Amino acid sequence: MREAVDLAVSPRESLDVRYRRFGPVSSAGFGPLRVVWLLGPEANRFVFAHSELFGWREAFDPLVVVDGETALIVSDGADHERRRRLVMPAFTRHAIDGYAEIIRSNVDAAIDTWQPGQVLNLYTEMRRVIRRSTIATLFGPRLAEEEPELGRLLQHALAVVDRLAPWQQLQRLGAPSWRRAVASRAEVAARVQAEIERRRREPDADAYDVLARLMNSQDGDRSGLHDVEIVDQVISLIAAGYETTSAAAAWAMHALITDPQLARRVSAAAEDTGRSLTRPAEWRCVDGLVSEVLRLHPPAVLTARKVLESFEFDGVQVPARSTLLISPYLTHRLPELWPRPLQLDPDRWNPTAPDHRRPGPHEFLPFGGGSHRCIGAAFATVELTVLLECVARRVTLSPEPSDMTPVGLAAMRPRRGPFARVVAVDR
Ligand code: HEM
């Protein structure tokens, strides 16, 4: 328990201290309550290469109240493989390039409401835009009109997830917040189910949103996802996508407003429109900025697995039933991997730079890795790119006092802000 509190109060310090003091493997607790930290690049490499040793259902149990029993992140083994195969077509490069236009129009619509002199909390602004664009890309324009209500309902459910596991266990005993979360989730599920049935009655051959792709997805034997699976995937995609991406967007906006030269470079690159965002013709500063934000401020500070089979790593035996934690945050700040690790330097990602070194998947892991690697990684990257480009191209912002202390472990964001005053908006 003390470990969990330390981690929540000072995630950076507690992980770094643990790694320097105990090396790549350390543990606390006993029996099924044992937590094992596997830290650093070699630990990540081992964990990503040995998915067969781990389970996700138990490790991500606190998410089930929102995501549902059949969501990818809580599926294991053959069920996970099948569902992932069926969800994948919604996230091809081609599909995501189509979603980029929806995201862009939502960002532009938000910017249109900004007035010179106004002070914005860029975290809450970005969060609203991301929620609206996520719902629009998932459900299409019709359900997107219900976005404020869907967002409100989901917020009740998400509120009980953003808690430490033992705290959630106590809430399950009947706290009003828990009952509200369960009822809100059921209401969202009913609306998604109604939309599925409406689409079956009135098929629309032009619907290319995620829901349409999930409804049409077929396996080799022509079977598809059942309705409960479709509903769970849709809700879990919103839940997985919007807190994490909003957190990253807050750090990205802070970088933009505190470095006018960087803002000018991003704005200049944004003039070049009309290319595929998932397959850019050449490296641009905004690509480096998105990678740097995800390196220095990875929203998932930690990710977890349940150990199914005992194994040995670095001479230490890790027992079955332990909960394993790996850390993108720690790995991304190791000076042995990243020269000047605490400096935000988009140019370190430029493949033509003389000292460029492409990191391995075990060295740069904002989206996790292995069989459960984030299915929305390309989507989130495009979303962040579009947000940065639209803001840099159209708005001049000056920073206002903010509290950028990181808070949260599943979606690490700044404590308050970043705040910025609108100086000018290009209309
Ligand atoms: C910056 C934004 C995001 C970050 C940092 C992030 C991070 C992660 C991480 C760390 C995992 C767990 C991987 C593991 O344990 O190995 C994950 C899984 C997942 N993410 Fe994301 N994510 C982001 C955005 C999104 C978006 C936009 C979506 C959907 C639209 C999404 C959908 C998912 C799903 C469905 C899974 C579970 C995949 C599976 O179990 O097969 N994420 N994400």
Q: Among 9, 153, 214, 151, which Cα is nearest to 1's?
A: 9
> Atom 9 (ligand 1): residue with closest C-alpha?
367
- Looking at ligand 1, which residue's alpha carbon is closest to its atom 36? 374
pLDDT of residue 237: 92
Residue 119 maps to which CATH number? 1.10.630.10
Ramachandran bin of 364, using left for φ above 0, alpha for ψ from -120 to 50, beta for the remaining angles = beta
As given in the structure block, the two tokens for residue 193 are 């189910």
Distance from Cα 238 to the centre of ligand 1, integer Å: 10
Cα(245) to ligand 1 centroid in Å equals 10
Token pair belonging to 275 = 């290319």
Nearest CA to ligand 1 atom 39: 372
Q: Which of 325, 304, 88, 310 is nearest to 213 (CA)?
A: 88
Output the CA 122–ligand 1 centroid distance in Å: 22
**How far is the centre of ligand 1, averaged over its atoms, from the C-alpha of 135 (Å)?**
16
Residue of 94, 90, 178, 177 lying closest to 134 (CA atoms): 90
**Residue with CA nearest ligand 1 atom 27:** 241
Structure tokens at 351: 């493949």
User: Is residue 348 over pLDDT 90?
Assistant: yes
Q: Which of 270-274, 305-309, 376-380, 419-423 has the lowest mean pLDDT?
A: 270-274
Q: Which atom of ligand 1 is nearest to the CA of 366?
A: 5
Residue numbers of the domain that contains 308: 2-425
Sheet with 395-400, side-by-side order of all strands: 119-121, 419-425, 395-400
**Centroid of ligand 1 to alpha carbon of 21 (angstroms):** 30
**CA 368 to ligand 1 centroid distance, Å:** 8
* Ligand 1, atom 1, residue with closest C-alpha: 245
Question: What's the confidence (pLDDT) of residue 138?
Answer: 84
Return d(Cα 195, Cα 190) in angstroms, integer. 9
The answer to whether the CB of 422 falls within 8 A of the CB of 255 is no
Task: State the closest ligand 1 atom to the C-alpha of 383, by its place in the atom list counted from 1.
Answer: 27
Pocket test for ligand 1, best of 64, 79, 374, 381 (most atoms within 8 A of CB): 374
Buried b (16+ CB within 10 A) or exposed e, 141-166: eebbeebeebbebbebbbbbbebeee
Distance (Å, rounded) from C-alpha 283 to C-alpha 265?
13
Would the pLDDT of 11 be above 90?
A: no
CA of 367 to the centre of ligand 1 (A): 6
For 76-132, write each residue's pLDDT tens digit.
999 999 999 999 999 998 889 888 988 999 999 999 999 999 999 999 999 999 988
Ligand 1 atom 31: the closest Cα is on which residue? 376
Assembly ipTM = 0.99
Output the residue whose Cα is nearest ligand 1's atom 6: 367
pTM of the model: 0.94
Q: Please say whether the dihedral angle defined by the alpha carbons of residues 168, 133, 289 and 422, taken in this order, is positive or negative.
A: negative
Confidence of residue 176 (pLDDT cuts 50, 70, 90): confident
Pocket test for ligand 1, best of 367, 379, 383, 384 (most atoms within 8 A of CB): 367
- Using CA positions, which residue lies closest to atom 12 of ligand 1? 368
Distance, CA 42 to ligand 1 centroid (Å)? Answer: 22
Put residue 126 in one of left, alpha, beta given phi > 0 → left and psi -120 to 50 → alpha: alpha
Q: How far apart are CA 414 and CA 242, in angstroms?
A: 15
pLDDT at res. 159 = 80
Instruction: Report which secondary-structure segment, H or E, holds 397.
Output: strand 395-400
Number of domains in the chain: 1
Nearest atom (ligand 1) to Cα of 370: 16
Is the pLDDT assigned to residue 9 strictly greater than 70? no
Q: What was the pLDDT predicted at 54?
A: 97
SS3 label, residue 208 = coil
Q: Whose Cα sits closest to atom 20 in ligand 1?
A: 374
Q: Atom 37 of ligand 1 has which residue's CA nearest to it?
A: 73
Question: Which residue is closest in CA terms to ligand 1's atom 11?
Answer: 374
Ligand 1 geometric centre to CA of 427 (Å): 35
- 197-221 pLDDT tens trace: 999 999 887 778 899 999 999 888 8
pLDDT of 379 over the 80 cut? yes
pLDDT tens readout for residues 248-265: 999 999 999 999 999 999
Q: What is the largest CA-CA distance in the chain?
A: 62
Residues with CB under 6 A from ligand 1: 72-73, 84, 236-237, 240-241, 244-245, 248, 298-300, 303, 366-370, 372-376, 379-380
